[in-house]
Every structure is written in C-alpha cells, then in structure tokens.
Amino acid sequence: MVVKTYNKSFQADTDKSAQMPHILVQCIMIKLILALMMFFSFYSNSFACLVPLIGDKYNSLITVEQIDDSKNYSFKIRSNVRQRNISRVFVLFDIKTSDGYSRSDDWLHVQFSIENEFAVGKLSLDPTKPNSSLPLMGSLSKDKKIAYLPYLHVVWNNEAGFVCPIIGKSSYLGKFGA
C-alpha cells in the first residue's frame, strides 16, 4: 500500500513565489502611472514645442516695399498665423565683414497697427532724416569696413506667451556702411 503525503506548506510557498512577479509588475506600473500623472499635472506646457517655428513659409508672410527710391519703407504682415497673433516687429541688423556675416546687438522696436487682419506700418532707415526710425544709428559702428544689413524680424505668439512662437524675417532692406 502506497501512502501519499501532502506537504501543504511547500504548496503554499510555490503559489506565493509564482504570484510575486505579477505583484511586482503591478507595483511598478502603478508607480509609473502616478509619476506620469504628476509630471503632466505640474507641467501644463509639457506638450509645447522646444524651438520656435521658422522658415520660408513664415518669411513669405512679410511684405516690405520701398517708398520713392529712398530709405523709407512700408510693410504689411499677416497678423494671425496658426492661431498665433503678431506680437512684435523689430528691425535687426546683420553685419557683413570680410570674415562673413554675424548679428549686431543693435535692434529697433517698430510700431504697427492692425488693419483688415494685417499688421501695417512705415519706417525710415535714413539716419540723416529727423523722422528716422533709427535713433540707435549713433551706436552702430562708424567703421567703413563694416556693412549693416537691416531686416524686419517678426514674432507671432499664442495666448500663453512665448510657448512655441513663430518667427519670420524679411529680406534685407538696403545697406549701411561699406
């Protein structure tokens, strides 16, 4: 006669060890879900782009016309692009030297008004005229070997501020210096 013995404590130990990896995975998943929920709740702009949108697509929205063969210009810029409103227009300067191009630290904020979904305005880049838009021209170098190449720099922002702005630039508006 064969007697079978049954060890209940051994069976219970094997069942618990089989359940351990499953419980461990559940704990890790719960911690991961909680961490993601905290991340997304603390950072409302977590889906924001990290760099501004730039390129020819946006540059083409800026129209600048020279007035009367002078250094006076008028501009027309689409005021709303991809649910972002135009916020600022600047004149920036690239510097051309014998070594190449670089950006000047000088800039000028340009006033504009909104008319029929376009930002419109005028500016004078003639430093010899009293109505010039360039009160800062005195700070630009008088070095005859340097050429300053001004252009319009346009920023469109959404209502949240500076999250994922769109930036466009016009072609050069003439040249100062060499």
* Inside any domain, residue 97: yes
Tell whether the model's pLDDT for residue 18 goes beyond 80.
no
Cβ proximity of 77 and 86 under 8 Å = yes
The band of 4, judged by pLDDT with boundaries at 50, 70 and 90, is low
Residue-wise DSSP of 80-126:
EETTEEEEEEEEEEEEEETTEEEEEEEEEE---EEETTEEEEEEE--
Tell whether the model's pLDDT for residue 137 goes beyond 50.
no
* Inside any domain, residue 26: no
Any idea what the CATH number is for the domain that residue 109 is in? Answer: 2.60.40
What are the tokens at 141? 């170098």
Cβ proximity of 168 and 62 under 8 Å = yes
* Inside any domain, residue 78: yes
Query: What is the pLDDT at residue 138?
Result: 47
* Inside any domain, residue 105: yes
Burial 25-36 (b: 16+ CB within 10 A, else e): eeeeeeeeeeee
Cβ proximity of 93 and 106 under 8 Å = yes
In one-letter notation, the amino acid at residue 1 is M
Per-residue pLDDT reduced to its tens digit, 36-83? 777 666 555 545 567 788 999 999 999 999 988 778 899 999 988 888
* Inside any domain, residue 17: no
Per-residue pLDDT reduced to its tens digit, 162-172? 678 889 999 99
What are the tokens at 41? 């709740």
* Inside any domain, residue 69: yes
- Closest-CA residue to 166 (of 60, 110, 84): 84
Which range marks the domain in which residue 63 is found? Answer: 53-177
Residue carrying structure tokens 């880049």: 125
In one-letter notation, the amino acid at residue 10 is F
Q: How far apart are CA 122 and CA 115, in angstroms?
A: 13
Strand partners, 103: 94
Tell me what percent of the residues of the chain surpass a pLDDT of 90. 24
- Rounded to the nearest integer, the mean pLDDT of the chain is 77
Number of compact structural domains in the chain: 1
* Inside any domain, residue 149: yes
pTM of the model: 0.65
Q: How far apart are CA 151 and CA 174, in angstroms?
A: 8
Cβ proximity of 66 and 73 under 8 Å = yes
Q: Average pLDDT for residues 114-127, to the nearest whole number?
A: 87
* Inside any domain, residue 27: no
